[in-house]
Structure 1
Amino acid sequence: MTQLSRRRTLALGAAATGAAWAAGTVPAGATGTTGAAGERGASWTQLADVPPNTTDWHEAVPVGEPYWGQPGLAGPIAGTHGDHLIVAGGANFPEPARTATRTNTLGKVYWTDAFVLRRDGDDHRWLDTDLRLPDAVGYAATVSTDDGMLVIGGEGFRGGPAGTAQRPAEKFADVYYLRWNAGRGTLEREDLPDLPRPMSYAVAGIVDDVVYVAEGADFVALDLDRPDRGWTALPTWPGDPRTVAVGAAQDGRFYVMSGRAQHADKSWTFYRDAYAYEPRRHGWRRVADLPWCVTAGLAHAVGRTGIVVAGGDKDIDRWNLIEHHVALRNAAAPGSEEWNRHNDVVTWIYDHHTGFNVEVLRYDTRRDRWQPDGFFPGPPPATTPAVDWDGDLVVASGEIGPGIRTPRVWKARF
């Protein structure tokens, strides 16, 4: 689809052996249908867990210890290239007995490790590889294409893994294809023009070979057949700016839904509104509101007129309570009695977090209508991409509570 005059191919990692990674995985093949009575729902299959990270980069992270496993990754790069699923980067809190609010050495850690799952019919196996990205990156927008996984923006650290207690993470403007070269056993990167500004937590979708990206108050587009023309700024949706929104391309339109925003008075809004951009008309229209907020959830196009939304957070009261005590903690002297008191409250709320949205929603683009469509089969995720694998939805890893990740991988057929 895309031919570039400026092309950079970067081989990442070592040659694959062709063997499959097996130790410590959950056996694949667990299935179930979660649709409620009278609804179609989905047929879910649990695939093998994401393998453990292998980069032994800091003594606080017990890589290689007998008990070391994959705690899960929030914001991983996830997408497909042919018969291979790529899961890379992402962020977590890997120190033993340390969490987001308990004293730790590294803070939130961003990784460079990359993993490849091979599909052979109904058999899915992680390849035995030792792959690395050049940068530690999470929370990028990703879209699976015939040309490979398109990666847009993100945040993390240049040059290798690091934690936010060591130095602040930076946002990236990088845009590139990431592909699996089965013959060489490597990942290859092909650069596209950078975003107009660095972005993380953006959403993206492709309509007629044009990729659309929304984040904050910005809406931009890149023609993948003519990338040398660069990014174009487009009119934004007729609603409030927002981040951690949900987005998908379907039925010739690009949809932006939900999300959240913090205002000047430090209060937050969790959004239920949704908008559709129609490239042929060069304009937006508001569509039916969601029944509830799905901020940080994921959206997947189904058939010709459906969008399925899963996971995400709708509990604004809990969010505001957390933010209230975080603000009071930040106003106190670090380590003081007041600081510890509010940190203990935040820790208590985190420890007793009941999880994200369990309900799956389906939107009909022609009828402009939302309806329930069953339930997510495990702990529902946030901050992980919806991966389209030949029409199936793949959900790889993600956050299932504040500071808590899951290594689970699910595949759904609608």
Structure 2
Amino acid sequence: MKLLQFSLLLLFSFSFAQVEEKIQFNWDSIAQLQDIKGVNGAYTGVHNDVFIIAGGANFPGTPVWDGGNKAWYNSIAVLKKNRETFEWVKGIENQLPRPLAYGASVSTPQGVLCIGGNNEDGTYNDVFLLKWNPVSERVEIEEQAPLPVPLANMQATSIGKDIYVVGGQEESGGRASKYFFRYRNDKWEELPGLPGPGRIQLSGCKSK
């Protein structure tokens, strides 16, 4: 009986400790997208203290459920903090090499690494950095080594200086893949595939 009571005490103590460690998030709206309809599948990230959003897709006219046509974009927008407010930087003229969406993006010290993606013409293996130049207030685009295969609807994250890409599709409507790639020293390496079925539009995170 004493052993049971001690076990229950440990269980409750652990449970309360877990509750105390919960992190509370408060969401707030800091700015409205310049495109009133918004976009899906855009490349996003932070570099040199600005938030960059590029590309994406939406249904600008008739909604998808009414048979509307999707449009892809190559525009780039930059959100900058001005004291206590956030403002969209005006006059951003640079654009992506082509309209793109549904790739993956990772914030790095060198810039926002944009990987793969697709548009109405196909799926791509393009990889490039979006770099914010605070002096000229321009987004600079720097090409990187392309993916070994074209991919969209995958996930990417960084661990240390390495970038990892998992899952995705080589073509729109194609099968979900088990791909697992690592980007290290400007080179892509294919790692052993994901266990289980292939995956698209998956979620991922890293833990310290």
Structure 1: segments with no counterpart, 5+ residues: 1-36, 53-69, 157-167, 252-414
Alignment of 1:376-395 (within 5 A): none
C-alpha separation in 1, matches of 2:191 and 2:156? 14
Matches for 1:118-267 after TM superposition, within 5 Å: 118-131=80-93, 132-156=95-119, 168-215=120-167, 216-223=177-184, 226-227=185-186, 230-251=187-208
1:89 aligns with 2:55: yes
**2:127 partner amino acid:** V
SS in 2 for 1:101: helix
Length-normalised TM-score, structure 1: 0.41
Q: Is the CA contact 1:205–1:213 (under 8 Å) kept in the aligned structure 2?
A: yes
CA separation in 2, counterparts of 1:51 and 1:128? 11
Tell me the amino acid that sits aligned with residue 242 of structure 1: R
Change in CA separation of 1:237 and 1:133 when aligned onto 2, cut-off 3 Å: closer
Match of 1:74, SS? coil
Aligned length: 179
Are the equivalent residues in 1 in contact too, given 2:105–2:115 (CA < 8 A)?
Answer: yes
Shift of 1:119: 1.8
Q: Distance in 2 between matches of 1:174 and 1:133?
A: 11
CA displacement, residues 158-185 of structure 1 (integer Å, 9 cap, x when unaligned): xxxxxxxxxx431110111111123223
Report if the CA contact (8 A) 2:30-2:85 is conserved: no
TM-score (norm 2): 0.80
Asked if residue 108 in structure 1 is aligned to residue 77 in structure 2, the reply is no
Structure 1 residue 92: Cα displacement: 0.3
Question: What's the offset of the Cα at 1:103?
Answer: 4.5
Superposed CA deviations along residues 178-210 of structure 1, whole A, max 9, x for unmatched, are: 111232232111111110100111111111211
The 5 A counterparts of 1:276-287 are none
Show structure 1 runs of 4+ deviating over 3 A: 37-40
**CA, structure 1 residues 247+103, in 2 after alignment: closer, same or farther (shift >3 Å)?**
closer
Residue identity in the other structure for 2:50: H
Matches within 5 A, 1:31-46: 39-46=22-29
Answer yes or no: is the 8 Å Cα contact 1:115–1:129 preserved in 2: no
8 Å CA contact 1:88, 1:114 repeated in 2: yes
Q: CA deviation at 1:129?
A: 1.9
Name the SS of the counterpart of 1:250 in structure 2.
Answer: coil
Structure 1 counterpart of 2:190, one-letter code: A
1:83–1:120: 8 Å Cα contact kept in structure 2? Answer: no
**Identity across aligned pairs (percent)?**
29
Q: Residue 6 of structure 2 corresponds to which residue in structure 1?
A: none
Output the CA distance in 1 between the equivalents of 2:152 and 2:66.
Answer: 25
Higher RCO (Cα < 8 Å, 6 or more apart): 1
C-alpha contact (below 8 Å) 2:178/2:195 kept by paired residues = no
Please tell me the residue identity of whatever aligns with 1:41: Q
Give the aligned residue type for 1:42.
F
Task: Quote the Cα distance in structure 2 between the aligned partners of 1:124 and 1:234.
Answer: 41
Cα RMSD of the aligned pairs, angstroms, is 1.7
